[in-house]
Every structure is written in structure tokens, then in C-alpha cells.
């Protein structure tokens, strides 16, 4: 059995108990916490037959840095998806939306990206296996339950994965502050991978070369760049906005199904 992970925070623990209670090995709750939110967690744990231990609040935080909100769950880790699992899921998806992070380092940014990806209906979030933030307790806490609903695909070679996704019929659109085209002028209704660069350095050159299109977010203030999780949220919601508008209009041509040729929609990538 894999070593247990610690999930802390009410929202993250509740999401796990509601969606994957079998993965909860033990729930540890601060003595004296008797409010309604804790009562709901205790009820979920009891319904799933999960053991609960009451401990002093000071015993919950590892090294005193965790903002645990009075509850910590010891859980069986969820393994990241493989590329094969992702491609299998794409085969059943209608105009999928994916988010790829090119070397994002801060677990808080990964957690925030997961949370927004979940809200926008993204199928998965792709991250490099090396030199990038991976799923851990901090990511799960920031994601507020989204880490249990939006799969993370840890890949050995992001450029190779982008090529595979192109072959599966998806368009690859990278975010770059120096791009010539604004995001709202690009067609984000097609099967799509949005690629975000790392904090401070942006997209690697090799990653840029695998993008069909680079887009920017217009900035009218004095700051030079946006936090990667903020920018990812803005681009994901731009994709959602366009897709909702196309669905209401009812006249937009859908993008190709995964695995289909991409040639007939190439002109749709720029509007």
C-alpha cells in the first residue's frame, strides 16, 4: 500500500468523504470543534465507516505550517493519470478542454489552477513529472476538493504529450504576454489544450514550438504580468464564455472529434 497522504481543510476533506470515502484511512479532528461543518464531516465519516480520532489542535499541523481548520484526513493517495488514461478519456469527450502547465513550481498555483479547471469543466490538468509542482497536501487544500474531481496527468515529456494531443485532434494554444493575438480573438470552442508557462519564465521555447497559436491577455495597467493561476483562470473562462455563446447561438461548427483530422478547422483557430 502506498504511504498515506494528509489532506487538511474542511472543503478538501468533505469533497473526499463525499466522492471517494474508501480512500480515507482515518479522520483526525481537533478536540472542542463542534460546529455544523465539523458535524457534517463526522456524519459523512460515520456513514462511510471511517474511523475518527479526536486530538489536540496543536497535534494536527505538521511543523506548525498547515492551516488545517481543525480537521486532517489520512488518505490513500490518488495516482495521477497516465497518458493512456487521458487518451482513453478523450475518445469519449465532446470538444474537450485541457489545461497544461509548463513547469509551474508553486503548489499554491497548481491548487488554484485545479480549482478553476474544475469550475470550467476541464477534463484534466497536465504537468511535467520533473521540475514542477505535484499533487500534495498543500495542492489539495488550495484546490478545495477539485484535486478529487479533476485528474492530474503527470507526463515525462510535455512536448511529446502535446504532439500526442494534436494527433488526437486537439488544438494547442499557449499563453504568452508577447503574442500578437488577444485571447478573445481566437476560437477557443474547438477541442483545446491551454498551455500556461512557469512563474517568471513563461513558456519554454520547445513548448512554444508545439503550440498552434499563441495568445495574450490584454493588460491596461502598470503590471508587466499576471500570476499564472490568475491568467489560467481568465483564459479558461474565456473558453467557457465562447462555448456557451456558441451553444446558445446553435450555429457554430463544432470542432473535430478527438482522433479526427484537424485540417478542416485550422482556419477556425483565429477569428
Residues 177, 262, single domain; the answer is yes
Residues 201, 235, single domain; the answer is yes
Residues 163, 200, single domain; the answer is yes
Residue-level pLDDT at 252: 47
Residue range(s) defining the domain that contains residue 65: 5-75
Residues 100, 224, single domain; the answer is yes
- The domain that contains 117 carries what CATH number? 3.40.1280.10
C-alpha cell at 173: 494554444
C-alpha cell at 117: 479547471
Q: Which of 171, 175, 202, 203 is nearest to 187 (CA)?
A: 171
Residue-level pLDDT at 145: 74
Residues 204, 88, single domain; the answer is yes
Residues 188, 108, single domain; the answer is yes
Q: Which of 42, 57, 75 is the last residue of a domain?
A: 75
Residue-level pLDDT at 261: 42
**Distinct helix (H) and strand (E) counts, the chain:** 8, 11
Q: Which of 21, 53, 75 is the last residue of a domain?
A: 75
Rounded to the nearest 10°, the torsion over CA 132, 214, 256, 167 is -50
Residues 48, 99, single domain; the answer is no
- pLDDT tens track of the chain, all 271 residues? 456 778 878 887 888 898 889 989 999 998 988 899 999 999 999 999 999 999 888 787 653 455 678 898 888 877 788 999 999 999 889 899 999 999 999 999 999 999 999 999 999 999 999 999 988 878 888 887 788 778 999 999 999 999 999 999 999 999 998 899 999 999 999 999 999 999 988 999 999 999 999 999 987 776 677 899 999 999 999 999 999 999 888 754 444 333 344 442 333 444 4
Residues 211, 194, single domain; the answer is yes
Beta strands in 56-176 (DSSP E): 71-75, 97-102, 124-128, 152-155, 171-175
- The domain that contains 52 carries what CATH number? 3.30.1330.30
Report if pTM > 0.75.
no
Residue-level pLDDT at 266: 34
Q: Which of 40, 55, 75 is the last residue of a domain?
A: 75
Residues 135, 218, single domain; the answer is yes
Residues 106, 196, single domain; the answer is yes
Distances (CA, A) of 212 to 3, 72, 170, 174, 201: 40, 43, 10, 8, 20
Residues 211, 169, single domain; the answer is yes
Residue 233, classed as helix, strand or coil, is helix
Residues 252, 185, single domain; the answer is yes
What is the total count of domains within the chain?
Answer: 2
Q: Which of 46, 4, 47 is nearest to 25 (CA)?
A: 4
Amino acid at each position: 500500500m502506498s504511504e498515506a497522504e494528509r489532506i487538511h481543510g474542511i472543503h478538501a476533506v468533505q469533497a473526499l468523504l463525499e466522492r471517494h470515502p474508501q480512500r480515507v484511512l482515518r479522520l483526525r479532528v481537533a478536540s472542542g470543534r463542534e460546529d455544523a461543518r465539523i458535524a457534517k464531516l463526522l456524519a459523512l465519516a460515520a456513514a462511510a465507516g471511517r474511523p475518527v480520532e479526536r486530538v489536540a489542535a496543536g497535534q494536527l499541523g505538521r511543523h506548525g505550517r498547515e492551516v488545517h481548520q481543525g480537521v486532517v484526513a489520512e488518505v490513500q493517495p490518488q495516482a495521477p493519470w497516465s497518458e493512456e488514461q487521458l487518451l482513453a478519456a478523450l475518445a469519449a469527450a465532446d470538444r474537450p478542454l485541457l489545461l497544461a502547465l509548463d513547469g509551474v513550481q508553486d503548489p499554491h498555483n497548481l491548487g488554484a489552477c485545479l480549482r478553476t479547471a474544475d469550475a470550467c469543466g476541464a477534463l484534466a490538468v497536465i504537468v511535467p513529472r520533473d521540475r514542477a509542482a505535484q499533487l500534495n497536501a498543500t495542492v489539495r487544500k488550495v484546490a478545495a476538493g477539485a484535486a478529487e474531481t479533476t485528474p492530474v496527468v503527470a507526463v515525462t515529456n510535455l512536448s511529446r504529450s502535446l504532439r500526442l494531443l494534436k494527433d488526437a485532434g486537439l488544438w494547442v494554444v499557449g499563453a504568452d504576454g508577447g503574442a500578437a493575438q488577444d485571447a478573445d480573438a481566437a476560437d477557443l470552442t474547438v477541442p483545446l489544450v491551454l498551455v500556461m508557462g512557469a512563474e517568471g519564465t513563461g513558456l519554454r521555447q520547445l513548448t512554444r514550438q508545439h503550440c498552434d497559436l499563441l495568445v495574450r491577455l490584454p493588460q491596461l495597467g502598470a503590471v508587466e504580468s499576471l500570476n499564472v493561476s490568475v491568467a489560467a483562470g481568465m483564459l479558461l473562462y474565456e473558453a467557457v464564455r465562447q462555448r456557451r455563446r456558441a451553444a446558445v447561438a446553435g450555429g457554430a461548427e463544432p470542432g473535430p472529434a478527438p482522433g479526427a483530422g484537424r485540417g478542416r478547422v485550422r482556419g477556425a483557430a483565429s477569428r
